[in-house]
Amino acid sequence: MAIEQQQFGNLIITSDSQTNTVLSVDTTDEYKNRKQKASLEILSKREEFKKRGSTVIKKEWIEAWKNFIDNSLRDPEQIWYNGVSIEAALECMEKLSQGCSVKDAYKAIDIQDPNSPCVYFDMRLFGWQNQNATNIVSSYHIRGKEFCDYRNRFVNQEQNPKIKTYRQKK
């Protein structure tokens, strides 16, 4: 067995080079520290998230929104992941409420656009968080379905350029 470690971005991959087998994947200490710091900052924004959300979501969902925030920030292992998604969704919902196009609102979470780095709490959004933020917008905002439809067309076009978008079909 020939054990070696390599770092790729925030990941440390331990492998057996003889069998070309990955033995473990972990994150760097620097990443863990940034994530822990960001998690504490997110927890300090719990009430702010509730307040910001209650100004842009469907009125009948305000109590559900407050419960959603509390439940999303309960598990210490999930605070950063969920908190970043909430922050991103709030930004999108605020833009939609101001009358922005769904395309412009989506730029806040577009992880594929190098000119729109979609960074929240000093950490870049992952694809899962993009989907999670879209689900939050879809569930709580009056223009959520429109936003979700745009995101799905956009992602499908990026993943398979042969798929025609809604605009191209007309």
Model-level pTM? 0.75
Partners of residue 119 on adjacent β-strands = 124
Q: Do residues 84 and 131 make contact, with C-beta atoms less than 8 angstroms apart?
A: no
Give the model confidence (pLDDT) of 10-41 as tens digits.
778 888 888 888 888 887 888 888 888 989 99
Alpha carbons within 13 angstroms on the beta-carbon side of residue 105 total 27
Tens digits of residue pLDDT in 78-98: 998 899 999 999 999 999 999
**Residue at token pair 């598990």:** 75
Question: DSSP string spanning 86-147?
Answer: HHHHHHHHHHHHTT--HHHHHGGG-TT-TT---EETTEEPPHHHHHHHHHHHHHHSTTHHHH
Question: What is the residue whose two structure tokens read 């309960």?
Answer: 74
In this predicted structure, the answer to whether residue 118 has a pLDDT above a threshold of 80 is no
Q: How far apart are CA 40 and CA 26, in angstroms?
A: 21
- Indicate the pLDDT class of residue 161, thresholds 50, 70 and 90: low
- Residue 13 has phi, psi (to 5 degrees) of -110, 125
pLDDT > 70? residue 148: yes
**Confidence (pLDDT) at 1:** 77
Q: What are phi and psi of 123, to 5 degrees?
A: -135, 140
